[in-house]
Amino acid sequence: MEKHLLTIDNLKVNFKTYGGEVQAVRGVSFHVDKGETLAIVGESGCGKSVTAQAIMGLIPNPPGRIVDGKIVFEGSDITHLTKKEWMQIRGSKIGMVFQDPMTALNPTMKVGTQIVEGFIRNHQVTREEAQKRAIEMLRLVGIPDPEKRVDQYPHQFSGGMRQRVVIAIALACQPQLVIADEPTTALDVTIQAQILDLLRRLQEEQELSVVIITHDLGVVSEIAHRMVVMYAGIVVETGTVEDVFAAPRHPYTWGLMRSLPRIDGEEKQRLVPIDGTPPDLFNPPKGCPFAARCDYAMEICNQQMPEISTFEPGHQAACWLHDPRAPRIEELVAAGRQGE
Amino acid sequence: MKDSLVEVNNLKKHFHIGNGQLLKAVDGVTFSIRQGETLGLVGESGCGKSTLGRTIIRLYENTDGEVLYKGKNVHRLKGKEAGQFNRDVQMIFQDPQASLNPRMTVEDIIAEGLDIHGLARGMRRERVTELLQLVGLRKEHASRFPHEFSGGQRQRIGIARALAVEPEFIIADEPISALDVSIQAQVVNLLEDLQAERGLTYLFIAHDLSMVKHISTRIGVMYLGKMVELATSNELYKLPLHPYTQALLSSVPVPDPTVKRERIILQGDLPSPANRPSGCGFRTRCPKATERCALEEPVWKEAEAGHWVACHLYD
């Protein structure tokens, strides 16, 4: 256990609402090693952002609360820390990059000040040193003319530049782990390419661990080493990006891959959508949450949560089809490959 | 051009944005849309693709140039002809949450067009039921309100509303951008089926290049208010001519870790359309720009049969 930088074990998060209690995350487990990029993929409402918020201690309580499970970072349990204890970790050990760089930045503060805010709190430095550090960070994330830019305000930056500033803030205290929640979703594709390139370069240079939350399988394959596929608050499949793309084992992963058009594809094929919609998490089904939309659902799928099957080392899926008692498994796996 | 349903000639749409500044959102665009095809329109935010769509459907008055629909200038239409145009051309919007009136039932939303054009008198309910079924919803949904539906279902309601008046030409402005991937495919398939059944013509505006390639017959690429390239979808993806198109295509992440592609990463950001660079608008980010690009604006020309481009490299 100790060798992982971050371990999430059976995490459960609920939110109280007027309509009842939503079970947003229902028993999620995964780990992140030093120097690797892990992608969490899934559709809106699958619990991927809530999982990220839990890692950063940002679950608003109330209405949210961690009802079960453990988050272990660098060997110590960080599941239930006080506000003060979180201040020691957030920024200095775990950096954060949010989706919308406009709302993540303070519009009334110079970007330089925002970059070194956490750095000044954690280190005894003079103003000149702090300013130097801010310029250095801007240069690191590829902002031209950093000496001038450091004293400007967020509205003087474009969307892509703002996201670079947010990344500079996340990295200012040299954290071991960066959590990036949909860091490129609000950006145009040519700017997205720049930001992904930057994240990849920084990750390698600084030996960072990165958790990237995204709904875009293209982004996953560009940047991540391993991936976790979430659906309705649970992890349905996890493995290295190569393994999962080459032989996806969960029908939901098959569905996701088949529903995407390929830009480099030759012939026009009809898209294969996943029919139906995700289940209601106020009252989640007691069996596999994907059963209602799954073409291969069996009786057991509606009755009981599937057990986890392991294929390659680290490649796991939670699906009854991989139970030794399930019928015609090889054919189904082959069917999953057809969609590529 | 033969068979063209819509012809856009040197269309311009400028906005006054205060301080005597002029934002040239669409600045001299020429192309045509053929009967029964899907023309995809791609480009990054602020390139003018939505303004172009809205000007074609007369949501905006044009500043200069013209849009011909079946040979008639749409911005000059009056009376009965204008009414017919409003029926023939419909729009599907990006955000199905914002484009459906939350205080109206689905039945009233879908039937609004029918009422205005005086279609379906006495058989309003039957028509609504028919339309709901056509887009994959159920009869019972008619009495519900928009908030009771998921995003994908709301987009189906938007499509049913557009189809109610039996249009010939539909402008879809980012119809799937707000939806999850598994739902996007449902809506795209629906749009394709409806086109096959009813011979519809689409102008499909989007920034998701893979989806545009999938659905379009031909694709136009816009940058800073101008069209920079137009070709059939396969040709554009196989042999993009304009350096911007090349960079745009190479920026799209491919969901396959075994594919390693040569990637062109553009430097810098999109300039503001209110402050367009001289000459070619793309020259500030273009890896192949020369002195000439700053001085002269490239002409929109047919580089190969059916493949249009505006770039000095192809003179």
Within a 10 A sphere around the Cβ of A247, how many other Cβ atoms?
17
Which pLDDT band, with edges at 50, 70 and 90, does A338 fall under? very low
The mean pLDDT value for B190-209 works out to 93
Q: Across the interface, which of B237, B257, B269 has its CB nearest the CB of A263?
A: B237
- Of residues A32 and A185, more confidently modeled: A32
Report residue B69 as tokens: 């629909």
Domains and CATH numbers, chain B: 4-101+169-314 (3.40.50.300)
Which pLDDT band, with edges at 50, 70 and 90, does B268 fall under? confident
Q: Based on C-alpha coordinates, what's the Rg of chain A?
A: 21
Which residues on chain A are in Cβ contact (under 8 Å) with B265?
Answer: 190, 193-194, 197
Q: Across the interface, which of A160, A262, A263 has its CB nearest the CB of B269?
A: A160
Per residue in B106-124, pLDDT (tens digit) is: 999 999 999 999 887 888 9
B260: left (phi over 0), alpha (psi -120 to 50) or beta: beta
Nearest-CA distance B265 → chain A (Å)? 6
- How far is C-alpha A62 from the chain's CA centre? 23
Contact flag A193-B265 (C-beta cutoff 8 Å): yes
> Which pLDDT does position A138 carry in this prediction?
92
Find the helix or strand (DSSP H, E) in which B219 lies. Answer: strand B218-223
- The full 3-state SS of A167-225, as one line of letters, equals HHHHHCCCCCEEEEECCCCCCCHHHHHHHHHHHHHHHHHCCCEEEEEECCHHHHHHHCC
Nearest-CA distance B276 → chain A (Å)? 16
> Which pLDDT does position A19 carry in this prediction?
81
Among A123-127, A162-166, A269-273, B263-267, top mean pLDDT goes to A162-166
Contact flag B207-A188 (C-beta cutoff 8 Å): yes
- Of residues A327 and A28, more confidently modeled: A28
Domains and CATH numbers, chain A: 6-230 (3.40.50.300), 232-262+272-338 (no CATH)
Q: Which residues contact A244 (CB under 8 A, 6 or more apart)?
A: A227, A229, A237, A238, A253, A315
Contact flag B44-A189 (C-beta cutoff 8 Å): yes
Q: Is some CB atom of chain B closer than 8 A to the CB atom of A242?
A: yes
Structure-derived torsion over alpha carbons of residues B259, A47, B100, B204, reported in degrees to the nearest 10:
0
Task: Give the 3-state secondary structure of residue A34.
Answer: coil
Residue of B nearest to A226 (CA): B257
Q: Which residues contact B298 (CB under 8 A, 6 or more apart)?
A: B279, B280, B310, B311, B312, B315
pLDDT over 50 at A1, yes or no: no
Q: How many CB pairs under 8 A join A and B?
A: 121
Residue of B nearest to A243 (CA): B257
Contact flag B184-A340 (C-beta cutoff 8 Å): no
Per residue in B31-88, pLDDT (tens digit) is: 999 999 999 999 988 889 999 999 999 999 999 999 999 999 999 999 999 999 999 9
> Which pLDDT does position B246 carry in this prediction?
94
Q: What is the DSSP string of A316-340?
A: EEE-GGGSTTSS-HHHHHHHHHHT-
Nearest-CA distance A189 → chain B (Å)? 6
